[in-house]
Amino acid sequence: MNKVTVLGSLNVDTILRFKRFPKPGETLPLAGKSIAGGGKGANQAIAAARAGAQTTFIGKVGQDQEGEFMTHQLTASGVDDRYVLHSDAANTGSAFILLDNSSENRILIDGGTNQQVSPTDVEAAQEAIVDSDFLVAQFETPVAATVRGFELAHAAGKRTILNPAPATKTVPRELLAVTDLIIPNETETETLTGVAVTDEYSMVQGAEKLQALGVQNVIITVGSKGAFWMRGPEHGFVPAYKVHAVDTTAAGDTFIGALSAVLTPDFSNLAEAVRWANRASSLAVQHLGAQPSIPTKAEIDAAERI
């Protein structure tokens, strides 16, 4: 069983469903509204825990009901929340997810306390970091905190996984220097490298540019098509499982969390881990809501045998 620590965001998601996105000035009725736990960090931690990893979370919530709700979401899935701090300086993060009948989503985020996570907060969780096989982070919390976390992990000989989302054109060199595996989607890859990901050849180009920035292990996720991986000079493409998607909100986060649960620290099983993570993601998109849709290890294993 891998030990995984996730540094990241916690958001309460409000999901608004409708037939199609309204045109400018147009009013349309909702087909449904629901509330669920979310935030890329929390999603990835819950995915890792449900996939079998011993998981710890580093983050921050407000002194509000939403904060209590989010810590409950973590602990209910077996995530250790001892390093989730409570702050009265801001509200717990929130997200508004707009979902149409084609399962395409658009997301608006209020970072709240996620934006208050500091390098000092991360240092307070050093014990968890050095006891982990992997430290996972995204860009929904301040980059300075992630840099410090990755530095602590590397100093202890631990592996780091960076999900550069939301996309940003520049990633600090000092962060890339302590990143062992980077996992962007096709849009984030283009933002980081200038390479438009349209086929496997362009995936190779994009991955090589990421390697040139200092990260030798790369996975580029391409939604319903699958995922491309590169480890040093080796690379390959793992097709996605074909399913009927209902909500793609947590697909990428489920992929990353499940991957971290089964990946070996030397990355020798990268292709196999990508295939297993693809299966986990394919199960998640068949259900509504981010965290409610994330499958357990038993569900992933059972689906693999079909």
Annotated binding site for K(+): 247, 249, 284, 287, 289, 293
- Give the residue numbers of the binding site for substrate: 11-13, 39-43, 140, 253
Residue 102, C-beta contacts closer than 8 angstroms, at least 6 positions apart = none
Is there a catalytic annotation at residue 64?
Answer: no
* Strand, coil or helix: 226: strand
Which of 64, 121, 133, 253 is an active site residue? 253
Q: Which two tokens stand for residue 166?
A: 């939301």
- Give the residue numbers of the binding site: 11-13, 39-43, 140, 185, 221-226, 247, 249, 252-253, 278, 284, 287, 289, 293
- Give the residue numbers of the binding site for ATP: 185, 221-226, 252-253, 278
Q: How far apart are CA 203 and CA 275, in angstroms?
A: 17
Q: How far apart are CA 104 and CA 102, in angstroms?
A: 5
Beta bridge partners of 14: 35, 96
Please count the other Cβ atoms lying within 10 Å of the Cβ belonging to residue 85. 18
- Residue 142: asked if its preceding bond is cis (omega within 30°), the reply is no
Q: What is the DSSP letter of 135?
A: E
Catalytic residues: 253
